[in-house]
Amino acid sequence: MKKLKPIIIIIIIILIAALGLYFGYRYSRSKKTADVVAISSSAMDGYWGDTIQSYGDVTSEKSQTAYIASGTEIVSVNVAAGDHVNEGDVLMVVKKETQDINGKTLQLEKAAHNLKVEQLKLQRLENTTPIPEYMHSQEVYHDTDYLAAKGYVASEDITIDGLDYHAGDIVVLYTYNVTGEVTGTTYLYPGFNDNGGNYKEIEDESKTSNIKSYVENNGDKFSIEEEHDTYSWLASILYLDGETQKIVGEDTFDIEGKQTHGGKPTGLTPSQLKTEIDTQTMSVKKLDLEYRKLENELEVMKNTTDSGQIIAKVSGTVSKVQNKDNYNNTQPFIVVSATDEYFISGSIGEFYLGKVNVGDTVSVTSWENGVSAEAVITEISDSPSNDQNFYNGSGNSNSSNYAFKASFDRNSGIEIGTAVDITITPGDQEASGLYIPSYFVRKDSSGNYVMKMGDNNSLKKEYVKVGKTLWGSMVEIKSGITIEDYLAFPYGNGAMEGITCKIVDYIE
């Protein structure tokens, strides 16, 4: 019975310690909180799919548009808006000598160069592979066994510089760092050994020098005792895609902490890349239309007669004419149209060819006054466009573009010569459901999940069914959560089920 008492006491102590750890853990968790945000603040509900973006300017099947370059002196204007003219009629007269054809030619060449440069920038952006929208890092440590200390122990009784050491006394002690470098040397007076004793360092440099020499020359009189230790060091930092959890980069370090390789992905995230592409696309649009305006101005100059007459090239109605004493040279000075039907030309990538058809409706928005109109596609080319400077449609930059025409009524309020944005929504797309930022979704062996606020205001793991990824940064949620739920960032405290949730406006 007496032999069992110590065992029972040990068991009781272990149980008390375990309970203490458990309640301590529970208490610690009760003090933790997880920030959660409303899905509605960052999600999309009812996304309708991709749209095709293009641009162009308005024209007519038979029309004449004339831009008058600044500096050109107008002598007379012979027509007014609404007048009918015949081909060959004199529309207006300018002073031929004020038309700087050479200067306009150089201007056009410069505009063509600038346009090409901006198009190449856009092409590079479109061909850029983005880095993950969100990355998280994971540190990897390695353990290294190393010699931490080495002692020279007298194997027999010896005398060094008047000091009498007995067998077993430690004479000199070396300490090392993890790279093998000596970090300390200690010479000891007799009387200190593995069992303890009198530990006293020798500070007399003359004696330490003699002891060092003696040890080096009489190695057979000493045994060496080594002490090893384990050094844990940062060997690498892994960078993981927040959506797929795949490793996308790695920084590596040597045992001294110096970086040996920098592999953290750099560049633009999908959302940043989209912003850059949108901005660069707008720049290309403006330069493209400026180039075509200059091209028209040069054409008008070349077709002006020696006496300064600008002649009608089509029979039709003057739909626009500006005041010669106060005109805007960024817009056509005069427009003659032979028909009431206006149209725009744009392009679509080959990826969309099967999704867009003759008869489909497109949206047209004027750059000049913001007026929108609906146009109907009347024609889609059977062969790729060779024009690299105009009507670029959205889609894969490496795919071919196919030109299309869409007609609309002249009474829409958008004039010939006006620059317009063109938007097409392919008709075979259905409304999708809920899209949330992909960094809210993690994956384990059971599937994809999010960390959401439960009914009792505590954090819980909720498995979700996901669909397609949008723009590389949003993921479709088909089931599991609704737009009314609150989510935590699923790392750190946000990955701990059961802790209290704290609603915030956004997560840092």
Q: Tens digit of pLDDT for each residue in 452-494?
A: 999 889 999 999 998 877 766 788 888 999 989 999 988 877 8
| pLDDT of 27 | 45
- Short-list 474, 445, 476, 479, CA closest to 462: 479
Higher confidence at residue 354 or residue 318?
A: 318
| pLDDT of 23 | 46
Q: pLDDT at residue 46 above 90?
A: no
| pLDDT of 8 | 42
| pLDDT of 386 | 63
Residues 6+ apart with CB under 8 A from 2: none
Q: pLDDT at residue 399 above 70?
A: no
- Quick one: CATH architecture of 52-128+274-424? Beta Barrel (2.40)
- Short-list 327, 322, 319, 361, CA closest to 344: 361
Q: pLDDT at residue 505 above 70?
A: yes
How far, in Å, CA of 335 to CA of 17, rounded? Answer: 93
Q: pLDDT at residue 67 above 50?
A: yes
Instruction: Specify the domain boundaries for CATH 2.40.420.20 within the chain.
Output: 32-47+432-503
How open is the CA angle 79-85-87, to the nearest 5 degrees? 125
CB 228 within 8 A of CB 147: yes
Q: pLDDT at residue 26 above 60?
A: no
pLDDT tens digits along 109-149: 999 999 999 999 999 998 998 998 888 888 899 999 999 99
If you average pLDDT over residues 355-381, what whole number do you get?
Answer: 85
Q: pLDDT at residue 387 above 60?
A: no
Q: pLDDT at residue 212 above 90?
A: yes
If you average pLDDT over residues 367-381, what whole number do you get?
Answer: 84
- Burial (CB < 10 A; 0-12, 13-18, 19+), residue 471, is middle
Q: What are 236's strand-pairing partners?
A: 140, 252
Higher confidence at residue 397 or residue 348?
A: 348
Q: Give the chain's end-to-end CA distance (angstroms, integer).
A: 62
**With bands split at pLDDT 50, 70 and 90, how would you rate the model's confidence at 202?**
very high
Higher confidence at residue 475 or residue 311?
A: 311
Q: What percent of the chain has pLDDT over 70?
A: 88
| pLDDT of 225 | 94
| pLDDT of 207 | 93
**With bands split at pLDDT 50, 70 and 90, how would you rate the model's confidence at 3?**
very low
Q: pLDDT at residue 351 above 80?
A: no
Tokens standing for residue 54: 């293009």
CB 35 within 8 A of CB 489: yes
How far, in Å, CA of 461 to CA of 191, rounded? Answer: 64
Q: pLDDT at residue 30 above 60?
A: no
CATH 2.40.420.20 fits 32-47+432-503, yes or no: yes
Q: What percent of the chain has pLDDT over 90?
A: 49
Q: pLDDT at residue 250 above 90?
A: yes
How far, in Å, CA of 89 to CA of 73, rounded? Answer: 20
Dihedral sign, Cα of residue 118, residue 120, residue 121, residue 126: positive
Mean pLDDT check: name the lowest of 290-299, 302-311, 340-349.
340-349
Q: What are 137's strand-pairing partners?
A: 239
| pLDDT of 308 | 95
pLDDT tens digits along 76-115: 999 999 999 999 999 999 999 999 999 999 999 999 999 9
**pLDDT averaged over every residue in the chain:** 85
If you average pLDDT over residues 177-181, what whole number do you get?
Answer: 92
- Residue 130 DSSP label: P
- Burial (CB < 10 A; 0-12, 13-18, 19+), residue 485, is buried
| pLDDT of 450 | 94
- Burial (CB < 10 A; 0-12, 13-18, 19+), residue 427, is exposed
Rounded to 5 degrees, φ, ψ at 337 are: -125, 135
- Residue 129 DSSP label: P
**With bands split at pLDDT 50, 70 and 90, how would you rate the model's confidence at 371?**
confident
Instruction: Specify the domain boundaries for CATH 2.40.30.170 within the chain.
Output: 52-128+274-424
If you average pLDDT over residues 404-412, what whole number do you get?
Answer: 82
Neighbours of 498 (CB within 10 A): 15
**Cα–Cα distances in angstroms (integers) from residue 467 to residues 176, 452, 474, in the given order:** 57, 19, 10
